[in-house]
A and B are shown apart, each in its own frame.
Chain A
Amino acid sequence: MAETRVTAAVLWTLPVAAVLSLFAWAFVDFLGIPPVVIGEAFVGVLLSAFAATVLGLRFGRAYLRRIGLGLLVLTYFGAHLSFLPIDASASLGFLTLALFAIELRIVADRFVPLYAGDLRGEDRERVGSALQRSLIRVVAVSGVAFLASSLAADLALAGTLPVTTIPTALVLAAALIGVILILALWPVLERREMA
């Protein structure tokens, strides 16, 4: 029983930690904004986004969390278009992390109610394996999303990643194909293993 409660708490914490790391990332970036009125406005919007997210988490209001995350992403990219230099890798990382946070929230919304209830024996095993599959897919797809866009950036302007263009492109393309194959074949392989 205690184990399921811990799993529920961890599942609930993961998306929160991802969103908080996005805010920390944005705040650190915004330290470089020059002291002009419109720059302070961006910081104000970021603080409002943070407040909306905290209120959404505190009172369990999904719409406040969504508004907070939407404002955060808009403010981050708005500030980078207005004042700050645009770093392709950092921007892709930020967007992928935001999508990863949303995916973690979807997984948490599905599984936390199950783990918070009375989950025993066979049910726990079934739900545990379903959770494992979901998390693997989310992590894999997020990784592929980042790597594929980095590959595209690398190809567009040789040198986005600190390696030579052709080997990076080849490795990323191979990784992309591999992960797609794993995702497509995963259910079939799993059922064969069970049989």
Chain B
Amino acid sequence: MRTTFASALVAVALVALLSGLGVRSWPLVLLSIPPLVFLALGSLDPPARPSLTATRIVSRDRLAVGMDAKVTLHVKNEGGPVALLECLDVLPPELAVIRGSNHTILNVAAGESADLTYTVRPTLKGEFTLGPFRARSLDPLGLGVEDVVVPTTTSVVVAPGIESLARASLGPRRTRPWFGHVPSRHIGAGSEFWGVREYVSGDDVRRINWKASARFDTLYSNEYQGERSGDVVILLDARAESAVGTPTGNAVEIGVRAALGVAEHVLESKNRVGLIVQRDVLDWVPPAFGRKQLYRILDHLIHVRAGGEWPFSFVAWVLTRYFPRDAMVVLITPLTDRTALESVMNLAARGYDITVLSPSPLEIERTLFAPNPQRETAYRILKMERENLVAQLRRVAQVVDWDPQTPLALPLRRMRTWPRPV
């Protein structure tokens, strides 16, 4: 394929020749020679059409954000020799090359092979495709190129980072009959002392309260608080308007990290966890126990991208129809609109126990710009509006106003305990 430069050379030569003949100027006619020499010498060795095969080996196909993977692309020339072969292994912009290069120029003989080795580091969660492999046989004078695309692709899955919620207290208060780690305010099997009653036949000897028995001269047994489990539904607001910040550090991505942290923390306490994501579609994972459920939730969260303009109230529709009524709802939203307030009040009116985790969009945006007096004034006004909204929400729910610069466990530990303040 000839380039525009080759066409330009032809045009210059023609113009010089015709205008020289037109005005009968031999120096002008001579000016047509240099471009013609370039064209003639360039056509002596035109770029050969490459015939290539490529095999890609990735050191790991499941990654986490910030984790490195080594990629080796083995390229073999199945055709004739190619003097200048420009090679590019096409990568999505979310995978940053941190060592080596996915772009090079080779000189390959017939049957010769070469390796392209580089290391990538994902900056964003998601499922990404490496490839295809593109090669271009170049003419050194830039007069022609021959392109070839080898359709070899490799998929890698990048999991989001996870917020550590170690020692944070977040779990359902309403329990179900299954054993778990949540004190249930019912007598049952557990480790927390509840009370003492008279011994009845069949009681475990280890439960006899010997001090009380000695004092009252009759046998007494200890009773314990039953530890059960409950349901938690994580509700992630991933609408387009919630994506405040950069592509890698916006409120939706931060919310995904928080949702994963909450899911892991709550599942570890032997509770059931479900997930609803509001993005360009409404999708959900029904509540279930265990490690497998964490992987199901992780799989859903990997594919979350901000999008959609749904009103927030649609979530309530899904929640009331497909999820248990006595579940604890953890709503993760940056609270960018006031309709969130109405939706939370609506859910609270239906009897849901609601906790709002809100990554502050103000703090996210504040880190992106250099401070100046106007921005500082705007920040203070917006902060007052947000505090007002949070104060109204605190009438019906527990609210964690979270600066994403700090670990989520910190504001969760400071969260006020139930009963809610009047």
Task: Determine the residue in chain A with the shortest Cβ distance to B85.
Answer: A130
Q: Which chain B residues (102-136) contact chain A, with CB distance < 8 Å?
A: 103-107, 109, 114
B311 close to chain A: CB less than 8 A: no
Check A95/B44 contact, CB under 8 A, given A113-B103, A126-B106, A134-B140: no
A146 close to chain B: CB less than 8 A: yes
A54 close to chain B: CB less than 8 A: no
A148 close to chain B: CB less than 8 A: yes
Q: Which chain A residues (4-42) contact chain B, with CB distance < 8 Å?
A: none
Q: Is the CB of B141 within 8 A of A141?
A: yes
Chain B neighbourhood of A179, CB < 8 A:
41
Q: How large is the interface on B (under 10, 10 to 19, 20 to 34, 35 or more residues)?
A: 35 or more
B74 smallest CB distance to A (angstroms): 14
- Give the CA-CA distance A117 to B107 in the complex, in Å: 19
Residue-by-residue, is B72-104 near A (CB-CB < 8 Å gives 1, otherwise 0)? 000000000101101000000000010111011
- Give the CA-CA distance A145 to B38 in the complex, in Å: 7
Task: Determine the residue in chain A with the shortest Cβ distance to B84.
Answer: A130
Q: How many A-B residue pairs have CB under 8 A?
A: 122
B351 close to chain A: CB less than 8 A: no
Q: Which of B30, B38, B101, B109 contacts A152, CB < 8 Å? A: B30
Report A's interface with B, CB cutoff 8 A: 77, 81, 86-88, 91-92, 95-96, 99, 102-103, 106, 110-111, 113-114, 117-120, 123, 126-127, 129-131, 133-134, 137-138, 141, 144-146, 148-149, 152-153, 156-157, 179-180, 183-184, 186-187, 190-191, 194
A103-B141, A126-B114, A148-B34 known; 19 new pairs, CB 8 Å cut-off, are A81-B28, A87-B27, A91-B30, A91-B31, A92-B31, A95-B35, A106-B141, A114-B105, A118-B101, A126-B107, A133-B83, A133-B107, A133-B140, A134-B140, A138-B141, A141-B141, A149-B31, A156-B26, A184-B45
**What are 19 A-B interface contacts by the 8 Å CB criterion?**
A77-B31, A91-B31, A103-B141, A106-B141, A114-B103, A117-B97, A118-B99, A126-B105, A129-B107, A141-B37, A144-B41, A146-B34, A149-B31, A149-B33, A152-B30, A156-B26, A179-B41, A184-B45, A191-B109
Report B's interface with A, CB cutoff 8 A: 5, 9, 23, 25-28, 30-31, 33-35, 37-38, 41-42, 44-45, 81, 83-84, 86, 97, 99-101, 103-107, 109, 114, 138, 140-142
- Which 5 A-B residue pairs are closest in the complex by CB-CB distance? A106-B142, A149-B33, A145-B37, A145-B34, A137-B140
